[in-house]
Structure 1
Amino acid sequence: MSSPPITAVVPTHNRPDMMRRAVESILAQEYDGPIEVIVVFDACDPVLPDVDIPEGRTLHGVVNERVRGLAGARNTGITGASHELVAFLDDDDAWMPGKLTVQAEAFARHPAAVLVGTAMIVDDGERTHERLVGSTLVDHTMLLHDRLPGLHSSSFVVRRSALMGDLGLIDEALPRSYGEDYDLLLRATALGEVVVVDEPFVTVTWQGQSYFFGRWKDYADALEYLLAKHPDFAEHRRAVGRIESQIAFARVSAGQREDGLRWARRSLAHSPTQVKAALAMLIAARVLTTEQVTRIVQRFGKGI
């Protein structure tokens, strides 16, 4: 089987050391086909890392001139990509050897696939946790009920023809670009197959350096946007209750107590087992703090 050429898109903002590690993990891939690396500089100086570039690899830098943020930066890379398969890698993450090979093989086995992802390893700075997805095929109903957090955007390889066509680009209207990967998965599963190589081929860094870390109001705004954008959530009580519980937790964590309690009550009315809605109520009642809850879940390699 020939290895198709792949473009890797790395959005970055003022993290040159992390970005260098990300780029090196792409250039070091054990992959027979050509790899084009596009680093997209978002509101920062366009300075490429000084790295060795092996034969069959190219490295380019471009400036994000679309909407500022992750969505606009990714779209800048997608539209500038030379190849049909486009891979995403955040600047604070890194690929493991063999990643692109197993994904190219998955595309060959599943010619109808729109997107192929992998499982991941979470690095919280003190320990690592393997996070599997639990399935090799992901459908739309599964994603409505569960974000499947083991399926991280830094593992995605997507068909450029779909991104430029029926699937569409990353949604730049999403508040702060939060949840753009979930939105893309929801749209992809409504269009065609999403395939998973359920082995960890990407290391995701969770050490508080994420642009989104602790921005609770932004989380809530984006989740409300996604809930309105995807009305099929409302067809499943547990699914809509899950999103409402996340909004409730984010609102009370942002200090919007009454709004958070309203969302918590809606969540529990739809799905009484939603733990985050109950936690939102406890935080609103000052029995717990957001910091206590996030510290506990992060010890297990999970996020809120």
Structure 2
Amino acid sequence: MADVQNGSASAVTVVIATRDRPGQLEEAALAALRQDHPGPLELLVVFDQVPVRELDLGDLPAGRSLRLMANKRTPGLPGGRNTGIGAATGEYIAFCDDDDSWLPGKVTAQLSLLADHPGSFASGTGVEVRSPGGSTVRLVPFEPVELRHLLRDRVFELHPSSVLVRRDRLVAEAGLVDEEIPGGYAEDYDLALRIARIAPIPCVPEPLTIVNWGGSFFAHRFPMIADALEYLLAKHPEFTGEPAGLARVQGQIAFYRAASGSFRAALGWARRALRGNWREPRAYLALLLTTRLVGAERVLRVLNARGRGV
């Protein structure tokens, strides 16, 4: 059953921040509006650094509303999401990327799960990753997700398109999306870490979120990605208590420094990663890039075709 109060299901706000992907944006919006959630659901589409335009969605289902608005905060994805949070009226907020979509039972399943975990205020779902190499289902291997899990691994299933969160606790306890993180990269990971500090994050063990891999605005912005990851390590000192997790992020930094041609910096980060975990594969990928025998784009194409990233 959905979360119920006084005989009516809780109100949910869906926030899609976009730089506009015609067609894909409409698909994401329709999937949100067609949720089987019995309570009210509003969809806020926040246009970031592009003109606000009308969406051709046909007649809205009963109990559904749509608002279109411009990003009123810092340009970029974090500012767009925070604009949506500030305008939301729902008790719960769910985020969705403009090139992803949901199965109809997503919101209902997450509200039911949170009703079973009264101490928690955020939930995720399993995901189906669709990439040029095919389709892969990924489910959270542990339940619920705790901070220690997120420090060890990114937990891809807590993708921004899968997360639903209680609005009042998000704002009062975890805080808004970080608008200072370089380029807005990994803002979702940062937010998940901050939420998990407060309470575990249960996840529905079904692939109710469709993630379309590829076409990211972050693609090939290698120096910015490395800057963002260094920012993340400085912001979350808990990584020092999880050597393998720290090595993982250090290996990522090494890879993206090498990808941007900063080979000396890449070697330094790779050495740090291997001191913490000699098996860290990202460090070895970074070392491979420093040989100039293979380029970062080729490595990323192979990983992305398998629904994976660095």
TM-score normalised by L of structure 1: 0.97
Aligned partner of 2:19 among 4, 13, 22: 13
Indicate conservation of the 8 Å contact 1:8/1:88, yes or no.
Answer: yes
Aligned partner of 2:111 among 104, 112, 121: 104
CA deviation vs aligned residue, 1:196-245 (integer Å, no higher than 9, x gap) = 112111111113x1101121111101000000000111122212111100
Q: Name the counterpart of 1:44.
A: 50
Indicate conservation of the 8 Å contact 1:216/1:251, yes or no.
Answer: yes
Shift of the alpha carbon at 1:16?
2.5
Q: Name the counterpart of 1:276.
A: 282
Q: Name the counterpart of 2:135.
A: 128
Aligned partner of 2:204 among 191, 197, 201: 197
Indicate conservation of the 8 Å contact 1:260/1:280, yes or no.
Answer: yes
Q: Name the counterpart of 1:142.
A: 149
Secondary structure of 2:161's match? helix
Q: Name the counterpart of 1:180.
A: 187
* Alpha-carbon distance in 2 for matches of 1:4, 1:111: 15
Task: Tell me, yes or no, if structure 1 residue 74 matches structure 2 residue 104.
Answer: no
Structure 1 portions without partners, runs of 5+: none
CA deviation vs aligned residue, 1:25-60 (integer Å, no higher than 9, x gap) = 011111111101000011111113121201100000
Q: How does 1:210-229 map to 2 (within 5 A)?
A: 210-229=216-235
Q: Name the counterpart of 2:90.
A: 83
Secondary structure of 1:113's match? coil
Shift of the alpha carbon at 1:126?
4.9
* Alpha-carbon distance in 2 for matches of 1:66, 1:127: 37
* Alpha-carbon distance in 2 for matches of 1:238, 1:302: 19
Secondary structure of 1:244's match? helix
Q: How does 1:146-157 map to 2 (within 5 A)?
A: 146-157=153-164
Q: Name the counterpart of 1:300.
A: 306
What stretches of structure 1 move > 4 A for 4+ residues in a row? Answer: none
Structure 2 portions without partners, runs of 5+: none
Q: Name the counterpart of 1:246.
A: 252
What percent of counterpart residues are identical?
41
CA deviation vs aligned residue, 1:144-201 (integer Å, no higher than 9, x gap) = 1111112211010011112221110000001111101110111011011211112111
Indicate conservation of the 8 Å contact 1:117/1:151, yes or no.
Answer: yes
Aligned partner of 2:291 among 278, 285, 303: 285
* Alpha-carbon distance in 2 for matches of 1:123, 1:213: 17
Match of 1:61, as an amino acid?
L
Q: Name the counterpart of 2:120.
A: 113
Q: Name the counterpart of 1:262.
A: 268
Task: Tell me, yes or no, if structure 1 residue 159 matches structure 2 residue 166.
Answer: yes
Secondary structure of 1:282's match? helix
* Alpha-carbon distance in 1 for matches of 2:138, 2:302: 17
Q: How does 1:47-66 map to 2 (within 5 A)?
A: 47-51=53-57, 52-66=59-73
Shift of the alpha carbon at 1:125?
3.9
* Alpha-carbon distance in 2 for matches of 1:125, 1:276: 22
TM-score normalised by L of structure 2: 0.95
* Alpha-carbon distance in 1 for matches of 2:175, 2:293: 44
Distance 1:126 1:277, change over 3 A: closer
Q: Name the counterpart of 1:24.
A: 30
Secondary structure of 2:15's match? strand
Secondary structure of 2:23's match? helix
* Alpha-carbon distance in 2 for matches of 1:126, 1:286: 26
Aligned partner of 1:233 among 239, 251, 254: 239
Indicate conservation of the 8 Å contact 1:123/1:203, yes or no.
Answer: yes
* Alpha-carbon distance in 2 for matches of 1:147, 1:160: 23
**Larger mean Cα displacement after TM superposition, 86-95 or 157-166:** 157-166
